[in-house]
Amino acid sequence: MKLSDLSPLIARREDGGLSFGRFRADPALASLQWPDDVLEQFLFDHGDNSAFVYDYGGIDLAGVGWSLETIAAADFREMPTGPSDADCIEHVAKNPEYWVAVRPEDVGRHWDEHGTWRRPPILIDRRLLAPPESGLQVLEGRTRVGVLRGRLRQGLHVAPQHQAWVGHPTEQSQRPARR
């Protein structure tokens, strides 16, 4: 299943006729067995985003397994995002205080107290991309990662470790295609 296969479901969501609860209960999505947070941030919120479809439309969604992982702050310093939004993280990193200030007050308080985001961003193992590469890539949460980078550069409080959802190829997706 690819992002384009979800077009009818996304269209129903866009029309306002589909809450997240009904969206995630769709049999096609339920079969993925993805965490709700990943379903919501990636497919529900951005399944119709043209940049996402361009950058991640070739991924076999059924071939991605998700885990909540702890990632070192230093690993986010150079982590890329999709080519359609390649400059987004750096744009945010130039003025992280602004991007925190335009969020609800508790977001800024959380950064000040804990040195991290409140909601884990979504990363993807770059082996899932075509052509496959090594390392991780920011799929959703570019603003959060930009704030982290900017805070690191400005010497503001940043936790040494951060939670993130990471999508890795499943065993099924790593098998050679049958002819």
pTM of the model: 0.90
CA angle 58, 64, 68 (to 5 degrees): 130
Amino acid identity, position 111 = W
Which tokens sit at 139? Answer: 């799929």
Helical (H) or strand (E) element with 170: none
pLDDT tens-place string over residues 70-100: 999 999 999 999 999 999 999 999 999 999 9
Task: Report pLDDT for 178.
Answer: 34
Q: How many Cα atoms within 13 Å fall on the side-chain side of residue 127?
A: 13
Round to whole Å and give the CA distance between 38 and 87.
Answer: 23
